[in-house]
Amino acid sequence: MTPTPGPWKACNGGECSCFIVSGADYPVAKVVCGKWGDDYPALRLVGPTSLEQKVEAYMEQITYGEIDPAEAKANALLIAAAPRMREALVRIRNGVLGLASAGIVGHAATIAICEEALAGLENEGLKPNSIGTGL
């Protein structure tokens, strides 16, 4: 898989109640706000008497929790920042690798942290792109 190219933006800077994060051409994520859980269809009888009743379909939910708007906004902004953070991580890793290849030592821990984070992205199925080398 290749992720949607950045930049990504939270709708109206995260202020919109839709909490949608979009790329240049289309949405990439919808952040949950409010109650969340498993939604499922259900049926009920409606009508004043048993002879006039009809079956009506509606949605029910098994609610597991609730996310308040401030947390949803923070989540949307974090998701929107993902392409920039990924690019920054690749550039940090490549810069430190450049220092190491120039004979400047002492950066092994920084390289290891960057490689671990980038490997996590790779494990999620994200393919390399044109930012620097590797992922």
Sequential pLDDT tens for the chain (135 residues)? 788 888 999 999 889 999 999 999 999 999 999 999 999 999 999 999 989 999 999 999 999 999 999 999 999 999 998 888 888 888 888 888 887 787 776 777 777 777 777 777 666 555 544 344 443
Would you state the torsion angle of the CA atoms of residues 35, 38, 122, 105, taken in this order, to the nearest 10 degrees? 40
CA distance 76 to 79: 5
For the chain, the domain total comes to 1
Q: Does 23 fall in a domain?
A: no
Residue 55 lies inside a defined structural domain of this protein: yes
57 part of a folded domain:
yes
**Residues spanned by the domain of 42:** 37-66
